[in-house]
């Protein structure tokens, strides 16, 4: 099984960025935790990050026929991007939405997710562990298929 993790803008600044909200782990530490969990699960994982909406769309399009599951934290584009929703609906790859913080208990604009309708589940507020839970979910789903 192959999983692609796609991270949006400013997630490269993890550790530095509002640690009281996003935690003190760096982006490298997030990537390491994802890779270690992939090894434990026996799945292949690729991790991509961009600050540009079009690059995220390109990655989703390029994943068509190449990966079995997507994990997306589109960061601020979660709350604005119809383009990401359209890309997910086009490729129809099983996808899980992840947010480090509990977006539902923050500003009202963060409660809106344009990508949610195209995702199997949303995991928010579990920090880095949320990505690992998303991997577990995709693997379980594949085993049940």
Known catalytic residue: 99? yes
Positions 35 through 64 that interact with ligand DQA (CB under 6 A): none
| Closer residue to ligand DQA (CB): 68 or 95 | 95
Q: Which helix (H) or strand (E) holds 9?
A: none
Can you say whether the dihedral through the CA atoms of 126, 20, 11, 81 is positive or negative?
positive
How do 2-7 and 44-49 pair as beta strands?
parallel
Catalytic residue among 22, 27, 77, 114: 22
Between CA 12 and CA 42 the distance in angstroms is 26
| Closer residue to ligand DQA (CB): 53 or 142 | 53
Positions 74 through 133 that interact with ligand DQA (CB under 6 A): 75-76, 78, 99-101, 103, 110
Q: Which residues bind ligand DQA (CB under 6 A)?
A: 10, 73, 75-76, 78, 99-101, 103, 110
């Amino acid at each position: 099984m192959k999983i692609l993790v796609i991270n949006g803008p400013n997630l490269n600044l993890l550790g530095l960025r509002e640690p009281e909200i996003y935690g003190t782990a760096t982006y490298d530490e997030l990537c390491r935790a994802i890779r270690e969990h992939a090894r434990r699960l026996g799945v292949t994982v690729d991790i991509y990050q961009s600050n540009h909406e079009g690059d995220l769309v390109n990655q989703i399009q390029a994943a068509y026929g190449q990966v079995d599951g997507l994990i997306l934290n589109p960061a601020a584009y979660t709350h604005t991007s119809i383009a990401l929703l359209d890309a997910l609906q086009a490729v129809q790859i099983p996808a899980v939405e992840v947010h480090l913080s509990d977006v539902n208990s923050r500003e009202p604009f963060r409660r809106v997710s344009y990508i949610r309708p195209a995702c199997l589940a949303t995991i928010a507020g579990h920090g880095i562990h949320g990505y690992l839970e998303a991997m577990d979910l995709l693997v379980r789903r594949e085993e049940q298929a």
